[in-house]
Amino acid sequence: MKSPVADLAPTDGEEGSDRTPLLQRAPRAEAAPVCCSARYNLAFLAFCGFFVLYALRVNLSVALVDMVDSNSTAADNRTSSECAEHSAPIKVLHNQTGKRYQWDAETQGWILGSFFYGYIITQIPGGYMASRVGGKLLLGFGILGTAVFTLFTPLAADLGVGALVALRALEGLGEGVTFPAMHSMWSSWAPPLERSKLLSISYAGAQLGTVVSLPLSGIICFYMNWTYVFYFFGIVGIIWFILWIWLVTDTPETHKTISPYEQEYILSSLKNQLSSQKSVPWIPVLKSLPLWAIVVAHFSYNWTFYTLLTLLPTYMKEVLRFNIQENGVLSAVPYFGCWLCMILSGQAADNLRAKWNFSTLCVRRLFTLIGMIGPAVFLVAAGFIGCDYSLAVAFLTISTTLGGFCSSGFSINHLDIAPSTLSENGKQFSASLLLLMYLVPFSSHCLPKVKYRPGLSVITVDTKPKEPINNPVSFHVFLFIM
């Protein structure tokens, strides 16, 4: 059998124009077949996992529209007359058997934002636990816990706002460990030249989960009642957990059905990527400007992404005046574009590196640039279009779609700069979501009262560290805080 390690290519494209090495030079491995491969099976199951993860996260955003008595928000609403009702509403019987609650806009904001109180807490412990117990169990039980808590959402709502807020915070605790756990697993599974593709496939499940769950939640609310939204997605999460535990392993070495050829390909491509040092070099980590650039990039992108993810259905109802059925479908359209962009950008990023010899540095900068500037421009424009329904949906769709380029930019740059300490780097997600604890309740409270006019600020970060952490990359971050 021919060894999967081929001769060293004359130019491997892994060094930037400033000649700062990103990845150590090593013999380039001949890729193992994609079909029926263990690494792509992992990517598919991870895709399904993040599909479930985001379905569990966003279903409340649509269900809440149907859970709340419309008279409760009428007193707070100052923009109800700004955009007129749609001229030809669809006359379909709306099942309203679900219990309604007297929650004002501020209370709804706390309910939607409470998820992030738990989510932020488990970021750092999640990275630590992934290095100790493995990403498989951590990711699996994180999603299982969220699914089980979701099943109890109707009961918590009946018990009162405090119980529902506490339950959503517990769901956040479970989901907080998922990204550190997944990054930890890919540090052992993803060959460098397939990294963008594999991670993009995995995380694209989040966008498709949003695309499917938003309209499906709206349909369930419309024809059944809102309680079935939580029962349905909770059961789906439990089914996924069983498949995940049965079919996945933490490393190629422990996989029972992986081919020897694929195992050798993965291990040989990663052998010069990982450091033998077991302890985390905390001082170099804290001094690393590339790492802080990634933190800032996550903060900026997630501020906009999670605000829209949480509040878009409310915006569609209170400002654009769409009914619950239209709301779910139109709220999902932007995330379908983002899902498609993530898949295509992952393929494009790896092709630029493998076939066109673009440096990893160049690819990460280019895709981050597009994924930050594009959404900023169209979100600012969306604040000046008034009640043009078509243009509002179009601008939000284009903005969210272009954000998909970031999945092959800063979002996976952790694997480039510090694969050996990756499981300890969940802390960057904490910084990304810190302000959301205050942003979401505030935004939900203000949404019915003011017309959105997003602001824009730009920060450029150019980092070239003197003491690299496992060969960090020089990194430009164009920061847009909406």
Q: Evaluate if pTM is beyond 0.75.
A: no
Please state the φ and ψ torsions of residue 426, each to the nearest 5 degrees: -65, -15
Q: Is 460 helix (H, G, I), strand (E, B) or coil?
A: strand
pLDDT at residue 434 greater than cutoff 50: no
Structural domains in the chain, sorted by start: 38-84+94-271+282-480 (1.20.1250.20)
Q: Is residue 164 very low, low, confident or very high in pLDDT (cuts 50, 70, 90)?
A: very high
pLDDT of res. 343: 87
Between residues 240 and 124, the one the model is more confident about = 240
Q: Within a 10 A sphere around the Cβ of 339, how many other Cβ atoms? A: 26
Quickly state the pLDDT bin for 346 (edges 50, 70, 90).
confident
> Lowest-confidence range among 47-61, 129-143, 165-179, 441-455?
441-455
Give mean pLDDT, residues 260-283: 77
Confidence of residue 454 (pLDDT cuts 50, 70, 90): very low
Are 296 and 179 spatial neighbours (Cβ–Cβ below 8 Å)? no
pLDDT in tens, 380-409: 998 888 888 889 999 999 999 999 999 889
Nearest 5 degrees, angle CA 266-CA 189-CA 273?
70
Cβ atoms 416, 294 nearer than 8 A: no
What is the C-alpha to C-alpha distance for residues 234 and 53, in angstroms, rounded to an integer? Answer: 10
Q: Are 349 and 367 in contact (CB under 8 A)?
A: yes
